Amino acid sequence: MQIAMSLASVGIAPSAVRRVETVQDDDSGLMQRVAAGEHRAYATLVDRHLRHAVTLAYRVLFDRAEAEEVAQEAFLRVWQHAGRWRPDGGASFRTWLNRVVVNLCIDRKRRPGMAALEEQPDPVDPEATPYEARLAGETSGHVAAALRKLPERQRAAIVLCYWEGESNIAAAQALGITVGALESLLVRAKRTLRDELSPVIGAKE
C-alpha cells in the first residue's frame, strides 16, 4: 500500500509498472526484444546477468582476464542466438546463459597451448592483484589448488551446485547432461577433492 501510494505520488500507476515488468522486462521478454534487434533490451540483459556470468566463468577458470573474455563471448552469443532461444524450452535464460558460459570455459581449456599453461605450477605472486589476494583469503589455497586439478566438467558441476546455488536440474541442463550423469560427475569430483584435501580435512578434525 505504501509502495502504491509512493508510486502514485510520483505519477506512476502501480498497475502500469507491474504490467511493464511482467510483459517486457522479464528475461524472456527481453530476449524477444533482443531477437528483434533492440539494443536497449540487450543492455538490460547485460546489466542483469553480467556479474553472474563473469563470476561463474571465474570460478571455473580461476583467471579473471579469461573469465572476462568468456563473458564477452557469451553475451555476443546472446545477441546472435536470441532469435533461436525459446522460453518454453524448459530452461530459464539464466540456465541457458550458464550453459553457454560453461561450454566456453571448457572449450577454452581444450584449446592448444592451454594445456601447457595448465601444467605450470601457479607461482605465489607477491604482487598478486587485489582480487587474487581476496580469493586467497576466502577460498583457501589448498581448496583452490585441489579444484584446479579437477577436469573442467567436474569443476563446473561443483561450481554450479555448491557455489552458484543451482538446482540439480538446472545444473544438469547447464552441463547438457542428465541428472544421473551430474551426480556421477559430482561424486567423482568430491572423491578427488577428498583425496587432495585429506591433510587439511585431517587437521580440522
> Cell 559430482 sits at which residue?
186
Residues counted in the chain: 205
51 is an interface residue for other proteins by CB under 8 A: yes
Q: Looking at 89-97, 99-107, 119-127, 180-188, which segment touches other proteins (CB under 8 A)? A: 180-188
CB of residue 193 to other proteins, shortest distance in Å: 6
CB of residue 17 to other proteins, shortest distance in Å: 26
C-alpha cell at 86: 525459446
Strands (E), 124-185: none
- Binding test (CB under 8 A) with other proteins, winner from 134, 149, 176, 178: 134
76-115 residues in contact with other proteins (CB under 8 A) are 76, 79
Residue closer to other proteins, measured from CB, 109 or 159: 159
Region for residue 165 given its phi and psi (left: phi exceeds 0; alpha: psi -120 to 50; beta: otherwise): left
C-alpha cell at 114: 592451454
Q: Report the C-alpha gap between 143 and 121 in whole angstroms.
A: 15
Instruction: Give yes or no for a contact between 73 and 104, defined as CB atoms under 8 angstroms apart.
Output: yes
- Binding test (CB under 8 A) with other proteins, winner from 159, 170, 174, 175: 159
- Binding test (CB under 8 A) with other proteins, winner from 140, 141, 148, 176: 140
Q: Report the C-alpha gap between 126 and 29 in whole angstroms.
A: 47
Three-state DSSP state, 140? coil
Binding site for other proteins (CB under 8 A): 37, 39, 42-43, 46-47, 50-52, 54-55, 58-59, 62, 64, 67-68, 71-72, 75-76, 79, 131, 134-135, 138-140, 142-144, 158-159, 161-163, 165, 167-169, 179, 182-183, 186-187, 190, 193-194, 197, 200-201, 204-205
